Amino acid sequence: MDFAGARKWMVDGQLRPNKVTDPRILSAMSDLPRHRFVPPAQAPRAHADEDVPLGGGRVMIQPMMQARLMQLAQIRAEEQVLLLGAGSGYGAALAARLGARVTAVESAPALLALARDALAGLSVAPGSIRIIEGNAARGHAEGAPYDLILIEGQVPEIPPLLVEQLAEGGRVVAVQRRPGRRGLPCWAAAWAAPSA
């Protein structure tokens, strides 16, 4: 399969028409081998305008949703980012390509293995991605404070425990789950209390 062509079609046919305008995101998604972040049998679907099954009821979110989340996050170089529900690691790779230093938390061993394999050999700055096994709902307090917490999954609300892990002026970006409706990207801004 022509994966480079599929990435070009994904960017030009899905992202640009859906108000993804950040050239850094468009460039990163044009370049990153998205098909490496799904099980081999799903590789032909990796660039489709749909969620891609990863196994165990988990999915890699559709490209447009991923790009919109990244655009809402407004990732800046050298920011400390906590990515929760990291799945196969694609979001972590995107954030690192945007210049962030990423701590990615995932609880499923099979997805951790997929993420580590997919990230091996990618051209990102050394040490820019740490993959941690853990419960996404608890975050990763050991690495706090974070400039950005990005949740790659639907949540009804932002747990207060996560807000406590934000730096002063930090922010949280997630997909809000509303009863009876499919989740839509939302901006959920939160600020941590100043240190005592």
For 74-95, write each residue's pLDDT tens digit: 999 999 999 999 999 999 999 9
Residue percentage of the chain with pLDDT more than 70: 89
Residue 2 corresponds to which tokens in the numbers above? 């022509």
pTM for the complete prediction? Answer: 0.90
Retrieve residue 3's tokens.
């994966």
Flag whether pLDDT at 190 surpasses 50: no
Q: What is the DSSP letter of 127?
A: T
- How far apart CA 156 and CA 151 sit, in angstroms, is 12
Most confident of 80-84, 156-160, 189-193: 80-84
Report the b/e string of 16-52 with b at 16+ CB within 10 A.
eeeebebeebbebbeebbbbbbbeeebbeebbeeeeb
For the record, the structure tokens of 147 come out as: 């400039």
Per-residue pLDDT reduced to its tens digit, 99-127: 999 999 999 999 999 999 999 878 777 67
Q: Mean pLDDT of all residues in the chain?
A: 89
For the cut 60, the answer to whether the pLDDT of residue 152 exceeds it is yes
- Rounded to the nearest 5 degrees, what angle is found at the Cα of 45, between the Cα atoms of 47 and 183? 70
Please check the confidence at residue 169 and state whether its pLDDT lies above 50: yes
